[in-house]
Amino acid sequence: MSLEQLKKEVASLTGQQQAELISYTLQLRYGKDPEYHREVTLRLNETDKSRWLTPEEFERRLDNE
């Protein structure tokens, strides 16, 4: 299957299915990277709520990248 075919298939998925695929591909890419694992753990354990993003702010920042 070509990359273009994959893109078309992904475009036809529901939002939930796309989210699952994103999670899966990130796991494939970074699953064995100890530095990435450490950084994610630190962020997940962040207790200072002033550093948390709302879903809307996250989307805005994501769109600007």
For tokens 């893109």, what's the residue? 7
Does residue 14 sit in helix, strand or coil?
coil
Note the Cα 9 to chain centre separation in Å: 19
pLDDT 10s digits, 25-46: 999 999 899 999 999 899 899 9
Give the count of domains, the chain. Answer: 1
DSSP state of 40: H
Domain limits at 38?
Answer: 3-63
CB 26 within 8 A of CB 39: no
The pLDDT confidence band at residue 65, using thresholds 50, 70 and 90, is confident
The pLDDT confidence band at residue 56, using thresholds 50, 70 and 90, is very high
pLDDT above 90 as % of the chain: 74
Q: What pLDDT, on a 0 to 100 scale, did the predictor assign at position 51?
A: 87
This model's pTM is above 0.95: no
